[in-house]
Amino acid sequence: MISAEELELRNQQTTMSEHFSMPLAVSTSKADISTSLIDMTIPTMSLVNRQLNIDIHAVNGAVIGRRLGPYCAMFAQNKFVSGAHAQLFYKKGEGWSIMDKHSSNGTMLNRRKLVPDVAMSLNNGDLVTIANVNLQVIINKVIKH
């Protein structure tokens, strides 16, 4: 038997993998993030809130949520963050983006509420709000050797 969350996760992986070139990293703990999913040719991105000691290192396709994704331990005790709140993506030629996943308390980019299932581009210095948690976007350019 499969849970509703697992079914939703499988559906997301099927539909999203058709649109994005990188493998999807969807797991239940930070320790599950595989270094094989990190492409050294794309800029690294972090979502940071130093006061709350949150430093999310973005992985293409990763879910941000209280129950799903590699960052769930950071939000497990925050009742305002949905189980699968938002998702991060990287697409070559377009850069990093974020998409609200029909969260209960919304996702905002620079204080503007996101429309669910619509990817919005992220830039260095942007402010992402996941429910009641503000996170600064830090994007580091790729260093070519």
Q: What is the pLDDT of residue 93?
A: 87
Q: Which residues of the chain have pLDDT under 70?
A: 1-40, 142-145
Locus of tokens 């209280």: 66
> Which phi and psi angles does 9 have, rounded to 5°?
-60, -45
Q: What is the pLDDT of residue 141?
A: 74
On whether the CB atoms of residues 23 and 16 are closer than 8 A, the answer is no
Name the 3-class secondary structure at 16: helix
Locus of tokens 């006061």: 51
Return the bridge partners of 139, or none: 45
Strand pairing of 112-113 and 133-140? Answer: unpaired
Locus of tokens 């239940």: 28
Q: What is the pLDDT of residue 83?
A: 95
Q: Helices (DSSP H) in the chain: which residue ranges? A: 4-17, 72-75
What whole-number distance in Å separates Cα of residue 102 and Cα of residue 63?
12
Q: What is the pLDDT of residue 27?
A: 35
Please state which CATH class domain 4-140 belongs to.
Answer: mainly beta
> Which phi and psi angles does 35 have, rounded to 5°?
-65, -20
Q: What is the pLDDT of residue 6?
A: 52
Q: What is the pLDDT of residue 113?
A: 97
Q: What is the pLDDT of residue 8?
A: 52
Q: Show the tokens assigned to 62.
A: 């990763």
Q: What is the pLDDT of residue 144?
A: 56
